[in-house]
A and B are shown apart, each in its own frame.
Chain A
Amino acid sequence: MTKDTSHTNRPEPDEGSGPATSDPASPQAKPRFGKGAIVFAMTLGVLAGVGMFTFGYGKGASYLSNNPQTCVNCHVMQDHMDSWQQSSHHHVAVCNDCHLPHDPIGKWVTKADNGFFHSLAFTLGGYDDPIQIKPRNRRVTQSTCVDCHKNFVHNLLPANTGSDMTNCVHCHGDVGHAGR
């Protein structure tokens, strides 16, 4: 602490409020919070307010939903959306049905992971365009293809779970969306 800040750090009741013991009813007449704490609380409030506004303005709540409209909050996905609407899957699957795992934990972990990295890429720019899928997300789409179609493709599946198999989208590349 430097000298000149220490003198601003006086005990509260010493400015013309008389001796501290003048009020017998309250032996501790010190207010509960100092000025600093009040200022801090206000800044915290401003932060919370701006945060809430940003969350609302950025349609933050929509990201917890299953609505495909959420994915075109960012214009980078517009082509994917437009071509999905004309695709063979558009009345049976929304974005999340193919791009998130079909188990609750995997689903939310993937949502968080992609949510963070998509936001980062879109905020900072400089991403590939046409965007390229990451190996992890490629594995997710593969698992979801199989999950819905396993009754038809079980004889194509590998003998041991997790071992090598052909990627469905290698041939069926535009069943979800042709636009990239």
Chain B
Amino acid sequence: MANEMKRGFGWLAMLTLLTAVATVGLVALLVNIFERKQEARAPFTKVVEVTEVSSDPKPWGLNFPQQYEDYLKTVNDPYTDFGGNHALPPSKLKEHPWLKRLFAGYAFSIDYREARGHAHMLSDQEVTKRVTDVQQAGACLHCHASIIPTYRRIGLEEMGEDATPAVLAEDFNIEAVMAGFKAVSQKTYEEVHAEVEKTADGFDVASGDPHMGGAHPVSCVDCHDPDTMEIRVTRPGFILGIDKLAKSDDPVPHLPSIGEWRAAGSKGDYDPNTMATRQEMRSFVCGQCHVEYYCANKMTLTFPWSNGLKMEELEAEWDATVFPDGEDGSEGGEFYDYVHKETGTKVYKAQHPEFELWSQGIHARSGVSCSDCHMPYEKKGATKVSSHWVRSPMMNINKACQTCHNIPEQEIKDRVDLIQDRTRALIDRAAAANVDMFDAIIEVQKAGATEEQLAPIRKLQRKAMWRLDYIASENSKGFHARQEAARILGESADYARQAIAVCYKLDLDAKPEDETVAAAE
């Protein structure tokens, strides 16, 4: 009897325990359902006032914690095959020795490393030997710093107007920004950097207290209107460049608002902030900097888009450009970026033309913007936000690609690898052709070729180098427009070989080999 009682109690205790466990599980489920239902409500609380002078992203982060948290993650972008974060990124010059010869006589031959995330853009620029060992122009800060409030301040000062932080915080004032942009275009890097440090990076509307926190890399105010949070473009270089493009006759089917503006009679200037579609703006904000430009001190920062966005259209603009005459009355002369040290030829430097190459690709033509892949939408709870962790889509294939591409992640990665490996191989082939060309030109110069004889060779050399650099410096290894990339590299190799052929055909005086042969006889 007692035994039975004991057993009965044991069972009861065990059942009670099981029931308790089941209850815990059930309540956990209940609370989880409750939480998921709460997620579907998205409260937004504005806790601080941000203004046109708030280049410090911190206060914005109080209003938009999710976006700010993502933005901070660009500190540690993971390493992909072509870029990512290291304490000291590997030198491209060591990896690809031909780059040293391509950039001979130009700062890029001193220090040229793999790219890192947005968060590093200003500090990396401050320490690269290209800036520390060579005098650079302040125009570089157009893209590497949150510089618009500084342009506005200097512009207002130029116009003789009041430029207190309160005034700077009030509105965008495009006239002042443009005036400031032009005023600093001839100044040195150090001068402009000091000016950025002197501008308030925030302004407390209530107390009238300006905040002085130094210079910041590109931040919220560069792409967002502080009152409405609408995306917008702020960079004078882009605003002038896209207007030039709109006024050209380049058919830009991937930018429908430009087509509409032309159809409506091309009245006045094309203003992306009021005319572009939201989807176009999602690419324009990136096109403010990820482009080919002239950025030194002989003229104002220029985007070469007056003929269109294709590689040869950019080249044609540089061909037609003449530097403005110096203040001392010296003649500006024909446009060039640097004199190639090995051969003495004046050549062009291509700077990461991502916006231009993307424009030639199938994604642009299909209405896919930069942000769709590099800042894909993600759900936080039930709220849809653009990921502000700007990074390679290859780090985020599910969100970046599978919204449209209904195929397995691995297959997508394999396709991208295939494109990039083919491009890489073509770059190497074009690079070999270019290096051979340098050798041939050095050889004929030794043998006494005249400037007149060299003129056509120099032309071919400039074309070959520009094309190779155009794709080598572009950051997608051909992915943004794979056929266009292959075409351009093919042309580069061809022009280099043409230059070599012309070298062979030169009718030069007796070659050293002939003399030795004659002596031997």
Could you list which residues of chain A lie within 8 angstroms of chain B, going by C-beta atoms? 1, 5-6, 9, 11, 34, 36-37, 39-40, 43-44, 46-47, 50-51, 53-54, 57-58, 74-76, 78, 122-123, 128-130, 132, 169, 173, 180
Cβ-defined partner of B30 (8 Å) among A9, A34, A43, A54: A54
B19 touches A130 (CB 8 A): no
A57 touches B30 (CB 8 A): yes
B402 touches A6 (CB 8 A): no
A50 touches B26 (CB 8 A): yes
- CB contact under 8 A between A78 and B382, given known A50-B27, A129-B398: yes
- CB contact under 8 A between A54 and B12, given known A44-B19, A173-B406: no
Instruction: Jot down 29 A-B pairs with beta carbons below 8 A, ordered by A.
Output: A1-B6, A5-B9, A9-B9, A11-B1, A11-B5, A36-B8, A36-B9, A36-B12, A39-B16, A43-B19, A46-B23, A47-B23, A50-B23, A50-B27, A50-B30, A53-B30, A57-B30, A58-B33, A74-B36, A75-B36, A75-B39, A76-B382, A122-B36, A123-B32, A128-B402, A129-B398, A129-B399, A130-B403, A180-B402
Q: Count chain B residues whose beta carbon lies closer than 8 angstroms to a beta carbon of A.
A: 34
Task: Please give, as numbers and ranges, the residues of chain A lying within 8 Å of B8 by CB-CB distance.
Answer: 34, 36
Complex Cα distance, B29 from A129, in Å, reads 22
Task: Please give, as numbers and ranges, the residues of chain B lying within 8 Å of A75 by CB-CB distance.
Answer: 36, 39-40, 379, 381-382
Task: Decide if B439 is an interface residue (CB 8 Å cutoff).
Answer: no
Task: Decide if B367 is an interface residue (CB 8 Å cutoff).
Answer: no
Task: Please give, as numbers and ranges, the residues of chain A lying within 8 Å of B20 by CB-CB distance.
Answer: 43
The distance from the CB of A137 to the nearest CB of chain B, in whole angstroms, is 13
Task: Please give, as numbers and ranges, the residues of chain A lying within 8 Å of B398 by CB-CB distance.
Answer: 128-130, 132
Complex Cα distance, B29 from A58, in Å, reads 9
Cβ-defined partner of B402 (8 Å) among A36, A40, A76, A130: A130
In the complex, the chain B residue whose C-beta lies closest to that of A46 is B23
Chain B 26-50 near chain A by CB (<8 Å), digits 1 or 0:
1101101110100110000000000
Cβ-defined partner of A180 (8 Å) among B16, B29, B403: B403
B379 touches A51 (CB 8 A): no
B403 touches A123 (CB 8 A): no
- CB contact under 8 A between A47 and B22, given known A75-B36, A75-B40: yes
Task: Please give, as numbers and ranges, the residues of chain A lying within 8 Å of B9 by CB-CB distance.
Answer: 1, 5, 9, 36
Chain B 231-258 near chain A by CB (<8 Å), digits 1 or 0:
0000000000000000000000000000
A54 touches B33 (CB 8 A): yes
Task: Decide if B10 is an interface residue (CB 8 Å cutoff).
Answer: yes
Complex Cα distance, B518 from A177, in Å, reads 84
In the complex, the chain A residue whose C-beta lies closest to that of B403 is A130
A1 touches B23 (CB 8 A): no
Complex Cα distance, B58 from A79, in Å, reads 32
The distance from the CB of B41 to the nearest CB of chain A, in whole angstroms, is 10
- CB contact under 8 A between A47 and B26, given known A1-B10, A78-B382, A130-B398: yes
Task: Please give, as numbers and ranges, the residues of chain A lying within 8 Å of B378 by CB-CB distance.
Answer: 129
Complex Cα distance, B471 from A142, in Å, reads 43
Complex Cα distance, B35 from A122, in Å, reads 11
Task: Please give, as numbers and ranges, the residues of chain B lying within 8 Å of A129 by CB-CB distance.
Answer: 378-379, 398-399
Complex Cα distance, B32 from A123, in Å, reads 7
Complex Cα distance, B1 from A39, in Å, reads 22
Complex Cα distance, B29 from A131, in Å, reads 22
Task: Decide if B229 is an interface residue (CB 8 Å cutoff).
Answer: no
Task: Please give, as numbers and ranges, the residues of chain B lying within 8 Å of A76 by CB-CB distance.
Answer: 379, 382
The distance from the CB of A128 to the nearest CB of chain B, in whole angstroms, is 5
Complex Cα distance, B367 from A120, in Å, reads 36
Complex Cα distance, B16 from A46, in Å, reads 12
Q: Which 7 A-B pairs have the closest CB atoms?
A: A75-B382, A36-B12, A54-B30, A75-B40, A1-B6, A58-B33, A43-B19
Task: Decide if B15 is an interface residue (CB 8 Å cutoff).
Answer: yes
Task: Please give, as numbers and ranges, the residues of chain B lying within 8 Å of A173 by CB-CB distance.
Answer: 406
A40 touches B6 (CB 8 A): no
Task: Decide if B2 is an interface residue (CB 8 Å cutoff).
Answer: yes
Complex Cα distance, B27 from A53, in Å, reads 10
In the complex, the chain A residue whose C-beta lies closest to that of B3 is A1
Task: Please give, as numbers and ranges, the residues of chain B lying within 8 Å of A50 by CB-CB distance.
Answer: 23, 26-27, 30
The distance from the CB of B56 to the nearest CB of chain A, in whole angstroms, is 32
Task: Please give, as numbers and ranges, the residues of chain B lying within 8 Å of A44 by CB-CB distance.
Answer: 19
Task: Please give, as numbers and ranges, the residues of chain B lying within 8 Å of A130 by CB-CB distance.
Answer: 398-399, 402-403
Contacts beyond the supplied A40-B12, A129-B378, A129-B379: 11 A-B pairs with Cβ under 8 Å: A1-B9, A36-B8, A37-B12, A40-B15, A50-B26, A50-B30, A75-B381, A123-B29, A169-B406, A173-B406, A180-B403
Task: Please give, as numbers and ranges, the residues of chain A lying within 8 Å of B27 by CB-CB distance.
Answer: 50
Task: Please give, as numbers and ranges, the residues of chain A lying within 8 Å of B10 by CB-CB distance.
Answer: 1
Complex Cα distance, B27 from A169, in Å, reads 41
Complex Cα distance, B13 from A131, in Å, reads 44
In the complex, the chain A residue whose C-beta lies closest to that of B6 is A1
B33 touches A43 (CB 8 A): no
The distance from the CB of A63 to the nearest CB of chain B, in whole angstroms, is 13
Complex Cα distance, B12 from A123, in Å, reads 32
Complex Cα distance, B362 from A143, in Å, reads 33
Task: Please give, as numbers and ranges, the residues of chain B lying within 8 Å of A78 by CB-CB distance.
Answer: 382
A40 touches B19 (CB 8 A): yes
In the complex, the chain B residue whose C-beta lies closest to that of A129 is B379
Complex Cα distance, B23 from A23, in Å, reads 42
Task: Please give, as numbers and ranges, the residues of chain A lying within 8 Å of B379 by CB-CB distance.
Answer: 75-76, 129
Chain B 458-491 near chain A by CB (<8 Å), digits 1 or 0:
0000000000000000000000000000000000
Task: Please give, as numbers and ranges, the residues of chain A lying within 8 Å of B12 by CB-CB distance.
Answer: 34, 36-37, 40
Complex Cα distance, B9 from A44, in Å, reads 16
Task: Please give, as numbers and ranges, the residues of chain A lying within 8 Å of B1 by CB-CB distance.
Answer: 11
B26 touches A51 (CB 8 A): yes
